[in-house]
């Protein structure tokens, strides 16, 4: 089983690595970070660099595809090399997935037309503009496409996928191994829970957060 | 404000990146990944490579120090270059922190003697052997040292630290921005919650998980 995680300039690190940390535990799975060109890829903050081991063209039939989000996604919405790759690998993948605004890339590739899907809460309207049906859920499965909400939701999506592929008990082992018993010190992780002032501040910053 | 995150061969990726993704949002903070030698550093699974931008010797007075865990930690327990660096930077740091078995490195450096601290649940006994007082809590603050439990606990630790440094409202903005509203598909993230069979299986695998 091959799991391909797409990197691009100005991706969000936790989108990719949270999902990776769950999926890399699947027995017999090989994970590979891919990008248009192999080599170092910087994140959205510029302070973190991950290595892409292979070019997109070098990974032609992954079983699982993971597309993270991040402000760099904006510049890729008409990148035909990437969009063609997504369309092609989706034909044979078992699961095609995204985290955060990575779903906008799946949408731009035409893969979410008429499908239930999610994205970062600030990007749900953009997702609808591409013909998807956005939901407020954290992890959305529609057929063999799974989309996750913003950034940290990739962990929940990854663990869900471990369960689908390796079974519930194995997924529980992964959860215990990564001690994923979250205890956030605040309860402000969704626009339904955060104080109105906090939600309004982020809404006003939407452009700088997503682009 | 400078935040130094230590990398070493066979670190656990989410330990470092979960914490990073929270801390990189602190206003005016510069994050830097450091290692004995700058350059590519491979994780415990071998499938992920992060770049260390600076050598330990090039970062002498960080305000915040983050030490992730991972099986590679075992080979560093008598690495005097790293342990000396930890002792030295701790003299002037505002916060010295660890995730998962990274606390064993702080302990080996003598920084946890008589202090309340935590680690991966499978490593709490090892922590006690170094003179620390292990607790079952997920994030433990003792003076200006903060230790986090296994892997994913770095996210909770990081968000706690954002609150300490930038205030509660700012930390809530970071939580909402990263949509950290965890909804794990299982409730098996701690040995108190996971099915006994799952706990027993991981206990039996302790050596291969931690080393």
Can you name the CATH fold of A2-185? Answer: Rossmann fold (3.40.50)
**pLDDT band at residue A24 using 50, 70 and 90 as cut-offs:** very high
- Reference B96, options B74, B78, B115, B81; nearest CA is B115
Q: What local confidence, expressed as pLDDT, does residue A136 receive? A: 85
* Cβ partners under 8 Å of residue A154, min gap 6: A14, A15, A16, A18, A19, A66, A68, A99, A100, A148
What DSSP string describes B80-141? HHHHHHHHHHHHH-SEEEEETTHHHHHHHTTTTTT-EE---GGGHHHHHHTT-EE-S-SEEE
Percent of chain B with pLDDT over 70: 100
Percent of chain A with pLDDT over 70: 100
Report whether pLDDT(B136) > 90.
no
Per the CB < 8 A criterion, the answer to whether A65 and A96 are in contact is: yes
The first and second tokens of residue A129, run together, are 């503009």
Q: How far apart are the CA of B113 and the nearest CA of chain A, in angstroms?
A: 25
**pLDDT band at residue A181 using 50, 70 and 90 as cut-offs:** very high
Is B173 in contact with A121 (Cβ distance < 8 A)? no
- Residue B172's CB is within 10 A of a number of other CB atoms, namely 27
The first and second tokens of residue B49, run together, are 């490579």
Report whether pLDDT(A199) > 90.
yes
Q: Tell me the per-residue pLDDT of B145-192, one tens digit each, with 9 for 90 and over.
A: 999 999 999 999 999 999 999 999 999 999 999 999 999 999 999 999
The first and second tokens of residue A107, run together, are 């949408």
Q: Tell me the per-residue pLDDT of A153-174, one tens digit each, with 9 for 90 and over.
A: 999 999 999 999 999 999 999 9
**Length in residues, chain A:** 211
ipTM rounded to 2 decimals: 0.97
Q: What local confidence, expressed as pLDDT, does residue B132 receive? A: 97
B58 DSSP assignment: G
**pTM to 2 decimal places:** 0.97
Report whether pLDDT(A60) > 90.
yes
- Residue A37's CB is within 10 A of a number of other CB atoms, namely 11
Helix then strand then coil, in percent of chain B rounded to 5, is 40, 20, 40
Report whether pLDDT(A120) > 90.
yes
Q: Is B19 helix (H, G, I), strand (E, B) or coil?
A: helix
* Across B37-47, average pLDDT: 97
Q: What local confidence, expressed as pLDDT, does residue A90 receive? A: 98
* Cβ partners under 8 Å of residue A129, min gap 6: none
* Across B79-86, average pLDDT: 98
User: For all residues of chain B together, what is the average pLDDT?
Assistant: 97
Report whether pLDDT(A105) > 90.
yes
* Across B3-23, average pLDDT: 98
**pLDDT band at residue A94 using 50, 70 and 90 as cut-offs:** very high
**pLDDT band at residue B101 using 50, 70 and 90 as cut-offs:** very high
Helix (H) or strand (E) holding B30: strand B30-35
Q: What local confidence, expressed as pLDDT, does residue B197 receive? A: 97
Is A202 in contact with B151 (Cβ distance < 8 A)? no
The first and second tokens of residue B33, run together, are 């990944």
Among B56, B86, B100, B146, which one carries the catalytic annotation?
A: B100
**pLDDT band at residue B21 using 50, 70 and 90 as cut-offs:** very high
Spatial distance between the Cα atoms of A74 and B204, rounded to a whole number of angstroms: 47
Per the CB < 8 A criterion, the answer to whether B148 and B90 are in contact is: no
Is B50 in contact with A49 (Cβ distance < 8 A)? yes
B43 DSSP assignment: B
Among A17, A26, A100, A132, which one carries the catalytic annotation?
A: A100
What DSSP string describes A68-132? ---GGGGGGTT-HHHHHHHHHHHHH-SEEEEETTHHHHHHHTTTTTT-EE---GGGHHHHHHTT-
Catalytic residue status for A100: yes
Spatial distance between the Cα atoms of A18 and B14, rounded to a whole number of angstroms: 6
Chain B residues in contact with A17 by the CB 8 A cut-off are 13-14, 17-18, 48
Q: What local confidence, expressed as pLDDT, does residue B211 receive? A: 86
Q: What local confidence, expressed as pLDDT, does residue B26 receive? A: 96
Q: Is the minimum CB–CB distance between B121 and chain A shorter than 8 Å?
A: yes
User: For all residues of chain A together, what is the average pLDDT?
Assistant: 97
Spatial distance between the Cα atoms of B210 and B74, rounded to a whole number of angstroms: 8
The first and second tokens of residue A86, run together, are 């997504």
Spatial distance between the Cα atoms of B1 and A44, rounded to a whole number of angstroms: 19
Per the CB < 8 A criterion, the answer to whether A5 and A16 are in contact is: yes
The first and second tokens of residue A41, run together, are 């890829």
Is A176 in contact with B198 (Cβ distance < 8 A)? yes
The first and second tokens of residue B60, run together, are 């002498």
Spatial distance between the Cα atoms of A33 and A39, rounded to a whole number of angstroms: 10
Q: Is the minimum CB–CB distance between B178 and chain A shorter than 8 Å?
A: yes
The first and second tokens of residue B125, run together, are 């006994």
A21 → closest Cβ in B14, B53, B198: B14
In a 13 Å sphere around the CA of B139, the CA atoms on its Cβ side amount to 20
Angle, CA of B80, B64 and B96, to the nearest 5°: 55
């Amino acid at each position: 089983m091959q799991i391909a995680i797409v990197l691009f300039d100005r991706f969000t690190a936790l989108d990719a690595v949270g999902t990776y940390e769950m999926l890399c535990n699947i027995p017999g799975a090989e994970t590979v970070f891919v990008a248009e060109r192999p080599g170092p890829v910087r994140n959205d903050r510029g302070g973190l660099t991950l290595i892409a081991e292979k070019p997109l063209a070098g990974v032609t039939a992954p079983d699982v595809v993971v597309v993270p989000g991040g402000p760099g996604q904006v510049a890729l919405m008409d990148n035909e090399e990437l969009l063609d790759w997504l369309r092609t690998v989706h034909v044979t993948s078992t699961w095609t997935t995204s985290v955060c605004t990575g779903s906008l890339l799946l949408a731009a590739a035409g893969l979410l037309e008429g499908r239930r899907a999610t994205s970062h809460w600030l990007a749900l309207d953009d997702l609808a503009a591409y013909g998807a049906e956005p939901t407020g859920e954290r992890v959305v499965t529609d057929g063999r496409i799974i989309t996750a909400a913003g950034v940290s939701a990739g962990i929940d999506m990854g663990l869900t996928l471990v369960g689908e592929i390796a079974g519930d008990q194995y997924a529980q082992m992964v959860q215990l191994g990564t001690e994923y018993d979250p205890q956030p010190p605040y309860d402000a992780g969704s626009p339904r829970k955060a104080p109105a002032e906090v939600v309004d501040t982020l809404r006003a910053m939407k452009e700088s957060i997503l682009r």
